[in-house]
Structure 1
Amino acid sequence: MKKLRFTKMHGISNDYVYISTFDQPEQDWEALSIRLSDRRTGVGGDGIILVCPSDKADAKMRIFNADGSEGMMCGNGIRCVGKFVYDKGLVSADKTTVTIDTLSGVKTLELTVKDGKVQSARVDMGAAILNPADIPAVFDGDRMIDAPLEVDGKVWNVTAVSMGNPHCVTFVDDTDGLELEKIGPHFEHHPAFPERVNTEFVKVIDDRTLRMRVWERGSGETWACGTGACATVVAACENGYCKKGEDVTVHLRGGDLVIRYTDETVIMTGPAATVFEGEVEL
């Protein structure tokens, strides 16, 4: 029986099964993600992330959601990929700046190392995209900011942002009482977002602090979403709740991320952790 080695990792509880293709063969990754993501019969996770060779960066990241669909970018996932390549010696021990190739372009990570292991990473996530056609979102204006959107019979005010993947951010008075399992799919499959959408429900604590829950396309509610936290801070600044160029702490169910939005880019800082190593029979 053939076996495939994996590493279970998480970034503030946004957990994936990480698999290296540097020394392991190609598989039916869509089917394997569905199988391994199951929290009762598989390893359990929000999907699988492949760590692959790249001709333009230190490594390439591919993401498959729990439903088998391939994602473009994952903020928590890329921090764990940075930890993976460093901790496993795929880059030299003195290399604490690494580059990761993604479907959203090459991203640069600054790694914080303690006792030979990565503890956290600071990621340049690139510029936020607000043009609806590039998100993509169906909207007549040049920016979809604080725009009314009817979802399952209720009107929500939303802001659309792409961080390499599409996000719909809405500000609410209470995040804890939301029935995300009921309303999340209506946002995800709304016709305004032809490629489906990740949706962030956000409470403003103050101009430096936000609380967020997220419904991710292909995975349902997750305990954290790095690109979602970035999109949330972008939306908060564009709506006047927070200020550009300042660190904003985003409280998610799994932990905290610190995000800074500028005219040029979005910077995300947060932890990365290894849970365990294992093998799965194919």
Structure 2
Amino acid sequence: MTNETEDTVSETSADALTPGAIPPVGLGTMGIEDPQAITTALDVGYRHLDTAQIYENEAVVGEGLADSPVPREDVLVATKVWADSLAAADVRESTLASREKLGVETIDLLYVHRPIDTYDPATTLPAFDALREDGVVRGVGVSNFTVAELDEAVSILDSPLVAHQTEYHPLFRRPELLEHAREHGYRLVAYSPLAGGKVFELPEITAVAEKHETTEAAVAVAWLRAKDIAVIPKASSRSHLEANLRAGELALDDEDVARIDAIEREEELFPE
């Protein structure tokens, strides 16, 4: 994977999605209930909106998108099929429902949210392929997979795997997932990049923040970007939205990255 992440999202909504077209800093929308937060995010420059069926806010995201003057084709809209809808027939039905709630003709990126419950790779993944072939989605992704599950998915999918979304932050580092993404040419997308606010408690992060005269949140985002991982921090206020977007432009040096890599504490926020 390269750092060339500024490709246009698409010329038409039905174009195939490539990993390089995923904007490096997106908006995680879990818990957002006000469409104005979405509209504000687009106004300050976000072009990547991430939601999920289980968040029960796809309609909120769709309304905020519709209210924005930003052209639809400039925004990557991603959602995820929850674990109770991963049987082949349910994948299609639930995705069509998501498309309606989002108010879009085509969903740019559709993820398997977790490989549990009704997930059966032999039938679930071909259902995702079919949605892409039919133009319902532009790209296929997975979320919360292990390396073994990723290998299996890559071997079954006819569609190229575009992205793997996973928890990734200074307290939960999975270099094997990053290496797999690099080897197979898809984008790693980090949710909870601020470790649920715990990055503000880490002296290593604070030291790097003081060195660069910035915030711990900015350092956490910049650390992920230094590894060419896309990030989707959640925010709703204009000031936090702007700060997270600017953080993607902060350049850490090798010493900074190594200092954060060496943090010994580990904490997973969203175990299965």
TM-score, length of structure 1 as denominator length:
0.30
**By percentage of residues, which structure has more helix?**
2
Bigger strand fraction: 1
